[in-house]
A and B are shown apart, each in its own frame.
Chain A
């Protein structure tokens, strides 16, 4: 059997202390393999976003272990986690989270600057990423000049421009109408198939989950089911 890209073992996440403590994850075990397209579904407050944040190395586990590509993430410090994000993980958010008054080009360029990639190579990568998400010719538009669907495409371009192993999407279609939503899902699905990027997506829309090859159901901080 192929080795898992990421592996959660009995992961618990507790927010707060003492009586006010809330257990967001109550022991989640999950494996995701390279090249998979996984959707995590569940009602709000079911712990799915917390789980995604942990997978994305934005948050740390309270107990249990998280192994990403053979690395014990729970043993890393903040700086090492940031380096993992920088090199291997791309994020797409529900609210796009682009920098305002900043062109699509500069938004997509940002992670490459942090990676320390030289100017010429950077430009080449940015143009090809924007072309890949279908935004050729829109490089110099700022978010306020782009539609919601286009903004999300810029965000996707920003996430894949570093050629990450893992693309994480937190309700990527949450702010879009159904036509644009399907376009975005088709784009993610294409990236998964042609580029071989592993995709983990959180959603609560069944229509969107069907694009995934595997659907994991969350409820009250636990995995309650899995569909293929």
Chain B
């Protein structure tokens, strides 16, 4: 039995070699199908990983509290009383299990240094902002307590702003101007790069929140409060506590809706990763259809080639091939072609998905499961779609086959 399979294998290989063009055309469908499946899934996995990493870099234990209703629809939102610094202080003081709190405000402002100027987001917050969103200092230092409390004119630059204004000059201790107010640079942040949505996360300046309120916005409002929950504490419990505290502070009577909302990063990450996963399986399914089409392509070419090779089959039978030998040969040919196509497809998929990942700045996450699955599928396609033509070949009448021209 093994000998017979081995012989069928030798004969099939010879036949494939004898007709390189026909063989490669037969395999082509499978090559494309396997490449498409693996590339799609790899890119999808890469995109999912990128989104997840970004959210993780923000911290899954991060909460954002904003005044007003949760944005459900486009259009005008009901205005609600803004938060004040005292609200953030109350959270820090009264809620159990909190790592850091960062009240923030921001606006787009022109900044000038020497003859360089640049328009960027100026964020007013505390050192807590660096903790909750995980920023590291590259040069200089954070704010001092005194700077924050008394609202001094000092600033920390995002990497992009530093590059734009200072090029390669040493920035610490230098003074830049924001709306005609002079600020001393005390620190520069480490680069984070682009987010997956294309925004430059390094393009901002951080100043103490009191300075912002006093010298830029001219009021004491706080746009949103970031809170990071300590490791090991229940995020749901913290959300619940903050809700109660805020309702109390904002004098919301029982039965009335909140006039603020809390964004939970876990929720956002779940939605985003869900979306990319659905996208991945959708693209994978489309690619799998092309694999099926490839299999039908194999069957078509094999069927045509059985007719074309009628005479050859007759000769083989006349010189001693059993029906079983002919059946096996054609079946092995189909399997070899489709698995060969599978291997080429895998190699091609490595190259294509690797370079696409590089171009699209997505991490290259190869799922070996899908590689084996695609290969296995192409072999199965070979068996299923090879069987019908092989049986047709084996059932030929040797005399008629020999007479065929």
Binding site for B on A (CB under 8 A): 53, 56, 58-59, 78-79, 82-83, 85-87, 90-91, 93, 97-102, 106, 110-111, 113-116, 158-159, 162
Contact = CB atoms under 8 A, between A and B. Distances in A.
A102 B14 contact: yes
Nearest to B7: A113
**Which of A82, A106, A110 counts the most B-chain CB atoms under 10 A from its CB?**
A82
Contacts of A116: 3-4, 7
Contacts of B11: 110, 113
Given A82-B322, A97-B318, A114 B399 contact: no
Contacts of A78: 323
Chain B contact surface mostly: helix
A99 B309 CA distance: 10
Contacts of B19: 101
A144 B10 CA distance: 23
B271 interface: no
**Which of B312, B318, B399 counts the most A-chain CB atoms under 10 A from its CB?**
B318
A82 B4 contact: no
Contact of A162 (B318, B320, B321): B320
Interface residues of B, number: 25
A27 to B, nearest CB: 21
B300 to A, nearest CB: 23
Given A110-B319, A114-B319, A114-B325, A97 B402 contact: yes
Given A85-B319, A115-B320, A106 B14 contact: yes
Given A53-B399, A110-B316, A113-B7, A82 B323 contact: yes
Given A102-B18, A113-B7, A91 B325 contact: no
Contacts of A86: 319-322
B266 interface: no
A111 B3 contact: no
A100 B17 CA distance: 12
B335 interface: no
Given A91-B318, A110-B316, 12 more contacts: A56-B318, A86-B321, A91-B319, A97-B311, A99-B18, A102-B14, A110-B11, A111-B320, A113-B11, A114-B319, A114-B325, A115-B320
B371 interface: no
